[in-house]
A and B are shown apart, each in its own frame.
Chain A
Amino acid sequence: MSSIDSTASTGGGGKELIGTVAGPGEGPNEFIVVTPDEQAVKTGEFITYSVPVEGTDRDVIARVTNREQARGLPETFMADPNVAPETVASTLGVPTDEIDLYRLEATVIGFYDTGMQTFSNPRQLPSPGTRLWTAPNEMLEAILPNLGVDEEAATDTSGSIDLSRVDVEDREGLAHMGWLLNREANAVDIHVPIDEFAATHLAILASTGSGKSYTAGVLMEEMMMPDSRASLLVFDPHGEYGTLSEMRGDETFSGEGYQPEVEYFDPENLRIRISELNVGDVMSILDNPSDRMQERLDGGWRAMQRRESRTWGVNDLLDEMRQQYGEDDSSVGALEWRLRRSIQRNDLFTTDANVPLDDLVAPGRCTVLQMDTLSRRDQQMIATVLLRRLYQARLAAVRNRGEDDKFDGEIIRHPLFALFEEGHRFAPATGEAPSLGIMRTITSEGRKFGFGLGIISQRPSKIDQDVLSQCGTQVTMQIQNPTDQDAIKNSVEAAGEEVLRELPGLTPGQAVVSGDSMNTPVLIQVRERHTRHGADSIPATSQWQQAHEERRQQPSRAEAADMGGGESTGEEDLL
Chain B
Amino acid sequence: MSSQSTDDTGSEESSHIDDCLAIGSIVNSNSHMDYTVEIFNETDRDRPPEPHECGFGQPVFIHKTIDGTEYIIMGVIYDTQLVDPDQGRSGPRLAQGDQPQFTPGYVEERTTLAGVALLGTAEVTESGTVESPSHEMPRWTLAVDDVVEQCPDEVTRIFHTGTDGGLQIAYIERLLDVAGPLGAEVTLAIVERLRDLFSEDAHQRVLDVVEKDVRWQSSVDRGVMQ
Q: Which of A23-31, A75-83, A135-143 contacts B (4 or more CB under 8 A)?
A: A75-83
Of residues 266 through 285 on chain A, the ones whose CB sits less than 8 Å from some CB of chain B are none
Q: Which residues of B contact A82 (CB under 8 A)?
A: 205
Task: Assess the A88–B170 pair: CB atoms within 8 A.
Answer: no
Q: Give the CA-CA distance A82 to B202 in the complex, in Å.
A: 8
Tell me if A4 counts as interface (CB < 8 A to partner B).
no
Q: Which residues of A contact B210 (CB under 8 A)?
A: 88, 91-92
The answer to whether residues A79 and B209 also contact, given A87-B166, A90-B162 and a CB cut-off of 8 A, is yes
Task: Assess the A93–B172 pair: CB atoms within 8 A.
Answer: yes
Q: Which residues of A contact B208 (CB under 8 A)?
A: 79-80, 83
Question: How many A residues touch B, CB cutoff 8 Å?
Answer: 12
Q: Which residues of A contact B63 (CB under 8 A)?
A: none
Q: Give the CA-CA distance A91 to B135 in the complex, in Å.
A: 11
A85 vs chain B, min Cβ distance (A): 9
The answer to whether residues A80 and B162 also contact, given A91-B168, A92-B169, A92-B172 and a CB cut-off of 8 A, is no
Tell me if B8 counts as interface (CB < 8 A to partner A).
no
A76 vs chain B, min Cβ distance (A): 4
Task: Assess the A80–B168 pair: CB atoms within 8 A.
Answer: no
Report which of B135, B206, B213 forms a contact with A76, defined as CB distance below 8 A: B213
Interface of B is mostly: helix
Q: Give the CA-CA distance A524 to B210 in the complex, in Å.
A: 45
Q: Give the CA-CA distance A83 to B204 in the complex, in Å.
A: 10
The answer to whether residues A90 and B205 also contact, given A77-B213, A79-B213 and a CB cut-off of 8 A, is no
Task: Assess the A80–B170 pair: CB atoms within 8 A.
Answer: no
- Chain B interface residue count: which class? 20 to 34
Task: Assess the B205–A76 pair: CB atoms within 8 A.
Answer: no
Q: Give the CA-CA distance A83 to B135 in the complex, in Å.
A: 22
Q: Which residues of B contact A90 (CB under 8 A)?
A: 162, 164, 166, 168
B132 vs chain A, min Cβ distance (A): 15
B165 vs chain A, min Cβ distance (A): 11
Of residues 162 through 210 on chain B, the ones whose CB sits less than 8 Å from some CB of chain A are 162, 164, 166-173, 202, 205-206, 208-210
Task: Assess the A83–B205 pair: CB atoms within 8 A.
Answer: yes
Residue in B closest to A74 when the chains form the complex, CB atoms: B213
Of residues 96 through 151 on chain B, the ones whose CB sits less than 8 Å from some CB of chain A are 135
Residue in A closest to B205 when the chains form the complex, CB atoms: A83
Task: Assess the B135–A87 pair: CB atoms within 8 A.
Answer: no
Q: Give the CA-CA distance A483 to B216 in the complex, in Å.
A: 45
B121 vs chain A, min Cβ distance (A): 14
Tell me if B93 counts as interface (CB < 8 A to partner A).
no
B141 vs chain A, min Cβ distance (A): 22
The answer to whether residues A93 and B209 also contact, given A76-B216, A87-B166 and a CB cut-off of 8 A, is no
B57 vs chain A, min Cβ distance (A): 18
Q: Which residues of A contact B169 (CB under 8 A)?
A: 91-93
Task: Assess the A76–B212 pair: CB atoms within 8 A.
Answer: yes
B40 vs chain A, min Cβ distance (A): 33
A97 vs chain B, min Cβ distance (A): 14
A517 vs chain B, min Cβ distance (A): 53
Q: Give the CA-CA distance A83 to B209 in the complex, in Å.
A: 8
Task: Assess the B171–A88 pair: CB atoms within 8 A.
Answer: no
Q: Which residues of A contact B171 (CB under 8 A)?
A: 93
Q: Which residues of B contact A79 (CB under 8 A)?
A: 208-209, 212-213
Proximity bits, A68-109, B CB within 8 Å = 1, else 0: 000000001101101100011011110000000000000000
Q: Which residues of A contact B166 (CB under 8 A)?
A: 87, 90-91
Chain A CB within 10 Å, residue with most, of B202, B210, B216 = B210
Q: Which residues of B contact A77 (CB under 8 A)?
A: 209, 213
Q: Give the CA-CA distance A434 to B59 in the complex, in Å.
A: 91
Task: Assess the A93–B212 pair: CB atoms within 8 A.
Answer: no
A208 vs chain B, min Cβ distance (A): 46
Q: Which residues of B contact A87 (CB under 8 A)?
A: 166, 202, 206
Q: Give the CA-CA distance A88 to B170 in the complex, in Å.
A: 10
Q: Which residues of A contact B213 (CB under 8 A)?
A: 76-77, 79
Q: Which residues of B contact A80 (CB under 8 A)?
A: 205, 208-209
A87 vs chain B, min Cβ distance (A): 6
Residue in B closest to A85 when the chains form the complex, CB atoms: B209
Q: Give the CA-CA distance A90 to B172 in the complex, in Å.
A: 12
Residue in A closest to B208 when the chains form the complex, CB atoms: A80
A93 vs chain B, min Cβ distance (A): 2
Q: Give the CA-CA distance A87 to B162 in the complex, in Å.
A: 11
Q: Which residues of B contact A91 (CB under 8 A)?
A: 162, 166-170, 206, 210
Residue in A closest to B120 when the chains form the complex, CB atoms: A93
Q: Give the CA-CA distance A93 to B202 in the complex, in Å.
A: 17
Q: Give the CA-CA distance A77 to B209 in the complex, in Å.
A: 7
Q: Which residues of B contact A83 (CB under 8 A)?
A: 202, 205-206, 208-209
A92 vs chain B, min Cβ distance (A): 5
Chain A CB within 10 Å, residue with most, of B213, B216, B217 = B213
Proximity bits, A415-439, B CB within 8 Å = 1, else 0: 0000000000000000000000000
Report which of B164, B170, B217 forms a contact with A92, defined as CB distance below 8 A: B170
A94 vs chain B, min Cβ distance (A): 8
Q: Give the CA-CA distance A80 to B212 in the complex, in Å.
A: 10
Of residues 537 through 559 on chain A, the ones whose CB sits less than 8 Å from some CB of chain B are none
Residue in B closest to A77 when the chains form the complex, CB atoms: B209
8 closest Cβ pairs, A-B complex: A93-B170, A76-B213, A83-B205, A79-B209, A91-B167, A88-B209, A92-B172, A80-B209
Q: List 7 A-B contacts (CB under 8 A).
A: A76-B209, A77-B209, A87-B202, A88-B206, A91-B167, A92-B169, A93-B169
Contacts beyond the supplied A83-B202, A88-B206, A91-B206: 6 A-B pairs with Cβ under 8 Å: A76-B217, A79-B208, A79-B209, A79-B213, A90-B166, A92-B169
